[in-house]
Every structure is written in structure tokens, then in C-alpha cells.
Amino acid sequence: MKRFWEKLHLITWTRDDESPAVSSSLEQLAAACQEGNTQAQKQLFDALSPKMMALCLRYMGSREEAEDVLQEGFITLFTKIDSYQGAGSFEGWARRIFVNTALMHLRRTDALGLSENLEEARNLFTQEATPVQKMGYSELMRMISTLPPDARTVFNMYVVEGYSHKEIAKELGCTEATSRSKLQRARLRLQEMMKEL
């Protein structure tokens, strides 16, 4: 992890850093980072990177792309940390940065393929519950990583992150019907994978 941290090129971290250690509360670490404490930046990175890497892996599907997004996300986080005002949890604020970074990466690579036929989207949408909700977390995450990027992104945003279809449509620049369609496709593909087991 130290090697990855050093790849950020954002701050210089050494064992001899004269900045005092900061307690491990994320909010306290954020406040220390706002004051320029480089040791707090390192501690914040160490505290958040496992969770944010898992988030990045869910969206990107490959470890290499996830590491790129993780790096971009931390650069954005440390660049914008002064805008965190303490309203709500710091982890929630940080999570939003990483989700947005993953979405921007997917948009840049056109992995979302948002140009689809809306009639087809309407025909695919149903309100029926699926067995996906009954699966174990690790098995579901493994299956999600095999979904196409557009379906994986919508599934993550809706099921894992709790976005509404309206919010997804706004974030991805598509219609709510497109969001519903991609979610339905993800669910159908996950059901097929479960039957194959």
C-alpha cells in the first residue's frame, strides 16, 4: 500500500514526518488534513483505501482500472477536502467522490454505452422481485464484477449505493427508463448466472 500511496504524487510521506500523529476518527483526520497535516493524509488514506478500493472494483470490474480510479479519487478528495464542512459523515462525503470519479472514468471510456433504444428499455422493465436480493454478499460481488460496465454501474448505483433511478439518470446523462432497463438487464444476467451454479 505504501508504494501505491507514493504513486499519488500529492504529498511526500516519510517515517520522519514531523507532523504529529492524529487520532483515527475520520472527521478528526479530515480536519487535520485541512490544516495541511501530511501524517493525517497518510492515516486517512490508510483508513479509507480498503473500502474505496472495494467500491472502485465494483464499478470498474478490473483491478488495474479500479486502482486508477482509486488514485484519481484520492487526488480529488485531497484537492477538495477544504470543502468538507462537517455536515454528515466524512466517509459518506468521500464515498460520493469515489462514485463520481468511477462514473467519470466510465463516461470517458464510453463503457456505459448509453445510446440504447428506449422502446426496448420499456419492454424490459418489470417490477418483479428477483432472487438476487437473497444472495450472499461475496458471491453477489463476484457475479457483479462480470456484468457489462453499463449494467454493473447502474446495478451498483441502485442496489449497493442506494441511488434512485432519477438520480442515476441525472448522474449518467440518460433517461430513467434507460436506468431501469440496465438494472433489469443486470438482474436478469445475475439470475442466469445463479441458474448456471
Instruction: Using CB atoms within 10 Å of the CB of residue 176, give its burial: 0 to 12 exposed, 13 to 18 middle, 19+ buried.
Output: middle
User: Which of 56, 70, 73, 68 has its CA nearest to residue 145?
Assistant: 56
Is 175 part of a structural domain of the chain? yes
Q: DSSP letter at 62?
A: S
Give the model confidence (pLDDT) of 135-170 as tens digits: 566 777 788 888 888 888 898 888 878 889 999 888
Question: Which is more confident, 139 or 50?
Answer: 50
Report the C-alpha gap between 96 and 102 in whole angstroms: 10
Distance CA 82, CA 189 (A): 42
Q: What total of structural domains would you count in the chain?
A: 2
| 76 in the same domain as 56 | yes
CB within 8 Å of 124: residues ≥ 6 apart: 180, 181, 184, 185, 188
Whether pLDDT at 118 is above 70: no
**126 within some domain:** yes
Average pLDDT estimate for 18-42 = 78
Counted residue by residue, the chain has a size of: 197
Query: Is the pLDDT score of 49 beyond 70?
Result: yes
In a shared domain, residues 85 and 27 = yes
Final residue of a domain: which of 77, 108, 139?
A: 108
Let me know whether 104 and 138 are in one domain.
no
**Section 52-60 average pLDDT:** 90
Q: 83: domain CATH number?
A: 1.10.1740.10
Nearest to 142 by CA among 152, 128, 133: 152
44 found inside a domain: yes
Supply the pTM of this predicted model. Answer: 0.57
Same domain as 161, residue 78:
no
Query: What is the domain extent for residue 165?
Result: 118-196
**Same domain (yes/no): 27, 88:** yes
Residue 159 belongs to a domain with what CATH number?
A: 1.10.10.10
Q: How confident is the model at residue 77 (pLDDT cuts 50, 70, 90)?
A: very high
Residue 29 CA to residue 102 CA, distance in Å, equals 24
* DSSP state for residue 24 in the 8-state scheme: S
Q: Give the residue-averaged pLDDT of 110-114.
A: 56
| Top-ranked range on mean pLDDT: pick from 3-12, 60-69, 72-81, 148-157 | 72-81
